Amino acid sequence: MSLITPAVILQALVSGLLMGSIYGLVGVGFTLIFGVMEVVNFAHGHLVMAGMFGCYVLFQQFGLDPLLAIPVALLVGYAAGLFLYELLIRHVVAAPQFAQVVLTLALFIFLENGANFLFGGDLRGVTTGYTTATWHVGGVAVSIARLAGAAVALAAVFALRFFLRRTLFGKAIRAAANNRDGANLVGIDVPRVFRSTFALSVAAAALAAAVLTPFYLMTPFVGNELLLKAFVVMVLGGMGNVVGAWLGGVIVGVVEAVASVFVTASLGNAIVFALLIVILLVRPTGLFRAEAGG
């Protein structure tokens, strides 16, 4: 215990804040779908995983830096979201939740096994010029890759919030989230809103993949961990609350990092989920206000 100094705890806080911001980005797409469509997408973590392998291929084959690949990731993610919605999700939007769970679990299994077939189960990573680079501030080492990822995550979250609150189509999304029948009555094309919302959520997953790839080791099974983190983030942040999801991610990252100073990293994860249980018991709606599509 004598090795645990204020400097060590400060380092953990900084690292947790940066990683937590990226966890928040992972959770944004997950909470957006639930807040607008009331669909729990169990394949969300594996969509992030697929995006990470996509960035890996672009880096290995074309030398494209994952952060420079962000525009490509957003476009491909949005297009993939439209495709998956038309092929699968639209058929279960109005179905019982059991059907939604089974369908998204099937997509989860398909993506995981497909990636395992194509890439194998070995750990893979991308090494850029800034992967291990750090910026030292007052004795605290700040990872350049994580700092860039956190900055992108924060910008994306507030850009999405601006879109939902200030644009006409964003307001249509919020209206459809609050009352589907009422939105239909005033002329809002609810199926189009749902299609675009799902596409946005997959684009957010692809963006999270791009910022994770420079420093996060990937396997076909990494989606399981990311899905669990997205669940915790959604519950902590208030279901459907975009900014709340980012704040929930920060809380998860800080708790995980600080806990790992005092116990092992695996127990740090256990503490995160213990926190989730406590929140569900004390405040089931989350720490922040649940807000459909906002």
Query: For the ranges 105-114, 204-213, 281-290, which has the lowest average pLDDT?
Result: 281-290
Residues 293 and 36: beta-carbon distance below 8 Å: yes
Sequence ranges of the domains in the chain: 6-282
Residue 292 confidence (pLDDT):
62
Chain segment 27-71, per-residue pLDDT in tens = 999 999 999 999 999 999 999 999 999 999 999 999 999 999 999
Residue 288 confidence (pLDDT):
79
One-letter identity of residue 221: F
In the chain, pLDDT over 90 holds for what percent of residues? Answer: 76
Residue 138: pLDDT band (50, 70, 90) is confident
Q: Enter the CATH code of domain 6-282.
A: 1.10.3470
Residue 1 confidence (pLDDT):
45
Average per-residue pLDDT in the chain?
A: 92
